[in-house]
């Protein structure tokens, strides 16, 4: 892997920025890679469109902004509509399948994988961990960063006392993703 551009999109309050932070921290601190992250969100705290853009590389990163992501993770229809045209030809599109309706054919001949992340989070007792379910799914399907690095970054990034719930959410997403790609 020379360099991988990743964009995560959703609505404020869905944990988009935390998802990007976990992925970037996993790459840079626990997987011996270089990583950059930029973020964008509307002036409203919740409900507005937001995104986290990451570059993960085996070499130093000279330009920190994502131009054409190879991987797009979308947790809302608005994020899909806004960001899917940016996806690189043949890129990887990961969606919350109960919240995002993907066009037929998918944009830019994307390879599409979906997960019912909200439902899985609700089964765990906290709808708020849907982003962590998506991070686990990302780890299994994208295979950009090792699962051990992702788990370590997750443990260090979530509020104290919620590590067990978040690790369970990550594992559920990861296991779902492994089934999808096998």
CA pair distance 45, 9, nearest whole angstrom:
15
Which residues does residue 30 pair with via DSSP β-bridges, in sequence order? none
What is the Cα 156 distance to its own chain's centre? Answer: 17
For residue 93, the enclosing domain spans 3-181
Q: How many residues does the chain have?
A: 182
Query: Which region holds residue 20: left if phi is over 0, alpha if psi is between -120 and 50, else beta?
Result: alpha
Q: Which helix (H) or strand (E) holds 7?
A: strand 3-11
pTM for this entry:
0.95
CA pair distance 102, 121, nearest whole angstrom:
21
Closest CA to 163 of 146, 176, 151: 151
| CATH assignment of the domain containing 11 | 3.40.920.10
Give residue-wise pLDDT tens across range 85-124: 999 999 999 999 999 999 999 999 999 999 999 999 999 9
Give residue-wise pLDDT tens across range 62-77: 999 999 999 999 999 9
The domain tally of the chain equals 1
Give residue-wise pLDDT tens across range 119-163: 999 999 999 999 999 999 999 999 999 999 999 999 999 999 999
């Amino acid at each position: 892997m020379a360099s991988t551009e990743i964009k995560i999109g959703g609505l404020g309050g869905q944990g988009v920025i935390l998802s990007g932070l976990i992925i970037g921290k996993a790459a840079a601190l626990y997987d011996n890679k270089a990583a950059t992250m930029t973020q964008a969100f509307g002036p409203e705290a919740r409900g507005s469109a937001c995104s986290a853009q990451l570059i993960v590389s085996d070499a130093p990163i000279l330009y920190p902004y994502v131009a054409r992501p190879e991987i797009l993770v979308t947790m809302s229809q608005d994020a899909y509509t806004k960001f899917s045209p940016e996806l690189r030809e043949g890129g990887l599109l990961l969606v919350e399948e109960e919240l995002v309706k993907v066009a037929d054919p998918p944009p830019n001949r994307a390879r599409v994988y979906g997960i019912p992340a909200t439902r899985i989070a609700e089964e765990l007792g906290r709808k708020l961990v849907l982003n962590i379910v998506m991070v686990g799914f990302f780890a299994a399907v994208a295979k950009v960063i090792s699962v051990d690095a992702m788990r370590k970054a997750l443990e260090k990034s979530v509020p104290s006392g919620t590590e067990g719930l978040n690790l369970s959410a990550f594992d559920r997403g990861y296991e779902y993703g492994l089934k999808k790609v096998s």
